[in-house]
Chain A
């Protein structure tokens, strides 16, 4: 093995070990109760702020007559509901076609047996 390759092998191995050490340290710090509570409080604070902005936009959408993200989501969900109904009908139709085909096969085979018996 040439010297360059050896160098890169050692570099990769050492890099991996250092990375693991740093990762463990970061994870331990992020797992401290103080940080956990801070993250939760911050997330809840952000949620309050965002929720109040969203409510303001919903209110403004009435006089300014523009659709909000919720309006678009509701419309999309109506389309998905229709898609689901068509999907169910299609599946029932496939099941019926299969049942009819099975019936036809059974009738044909019964007729054949009758003819053979005669």
Chain B
């Protein structure tokens, strides 16, 4: 009995060690083609396996991390899931910024990348409307874009996207000090130009979980499950794949969103144009989670009262920040919501 337990224990440890030290896994395996490129950004096109909807999906991912979380691997890919359901997908990948991108502002991201990407996706697909789906900070940018867009947005999905920055449960003292002008980080952001990825990782880790051992314990618990280990490896690879952040954009976000709460107070200007969420008329689906430490539900939900959309739904996610990307139940809900709002093609 004791020797069996020793063996089981040792096997698990060996498996965990193997998983942790194995080379970076292959991610982003769904077939795709680049339809537009600018600077470091690429607009990827993932054709539907059998097209069933006229309205394509346009994914905007966060600027903090890499978008391959949406296509982690066969069976764990939101993109593959929607392709199989019959949607054409466009993914705007902002790429990895360098020092030359230190001056990129929110207006640049929204007008020179998101808006242009949508225009290109519309031309490429020949569609009359588009569904814009933003994840995390990409969702915040999607809501800003949707508020000033001329393009025909049929559906807007904001997945764990912070909108109301008045709710800051963990680091409220930092926010108060910033609001009162007692501290500011403009000088350091101007000097470094772009915030290095390691600093981004540390910053987000501190907000979400400074000590990060539970994923390793989960891996140990399921140490003999090869499929779980592969999924874990892929997810962990993504969780550590932070990218540099433009100093100008971060400075602007701290001021206009963090301090002024510009989306709620309607003080945000993009290229001189006021951003009013009440201009949004597209069908809206907002997704928030009760257990998300990075973007609490209270930061997401207020969007429901601010838009003019007649058709709006709030979905409470049972899981953390990145659940949406790989949880089949949530994906099925997203599909059921989108499928009746994406101009189904009448076959035969």
- What is A's interface to B at a CB cutoff of 8 Å? 3-5, 8-9, 11-12, 15-16, 19, 22-23, 26-27, 30-33, 36-37, 39-40, 43-44, 46-48, 50-51, 54, 69, 72-73, 76-77, 80, 83-84, 87, 91, 94-95, 98
Contacts and interface: CB of A to CB of B under 8 A. Distances in A.
B116 A31 contact: no
B214 A47 contact: no
Nearest to B177: A36
A47 B190 contact: yes
A90 to B, nearest CB: 9
Q: Is the interface of A mostly helix, strand, loop or mixed?
A: helix
A12 B171 contact: no
A94 B119 CA distance: 11
A40 B174 CA distance: 10
Interface stretch (B134-142, B179-187, B282-290): B179-187
A94 B36 CA distance: 13
A51 B191 contact: yes
A76 B191 contact: no
A40 B183 contact: yes
A91 B218 contact: no
A51 B188 CA distance: 9
Given A19-B212, A73-B102, 18 more contacts: A4-B9, A8-B217, A11-B220, A12-B217, A19-B209, A27-B206, A31-B172, A37-B183, A40-B182, A43-B188, A44-B188, A47-B187, A77-B100, A80-B38, A80-B100, A84-B38, A91-B123, A94-B123
B23 interface: no
B171 A27 contact: yes
23 contacts: A3-B5, A4-B5, A8-B220, A11-B220, A11-B221, A12-B221, A15-B214, A19-B209, A22-B210, A23-B210, A26-B206, A26-B211, A27-B206, A30-B206, A36-B173, A36-B177, A36-B183, A37-B183, A39-B183, A43-B185, A44-B184, A47-B190, A80-B38
Contacts of B220: 8, 11-12
B245 to A, nearest CB: 15
A113 B330 CA distance: 51
Given A11-B221, A27-B206, A50-B191, A33 B173 contact: yes
A8 B185 CA distance: 44
Contacts of B183: 36-37, 39-40
B112 interface: yes
B3 interface: no
Interface centre among A3, A23, A31, A84 (most CB of B within 10 A): A23
B184 A72 contact: no
B99 A15 contact: no
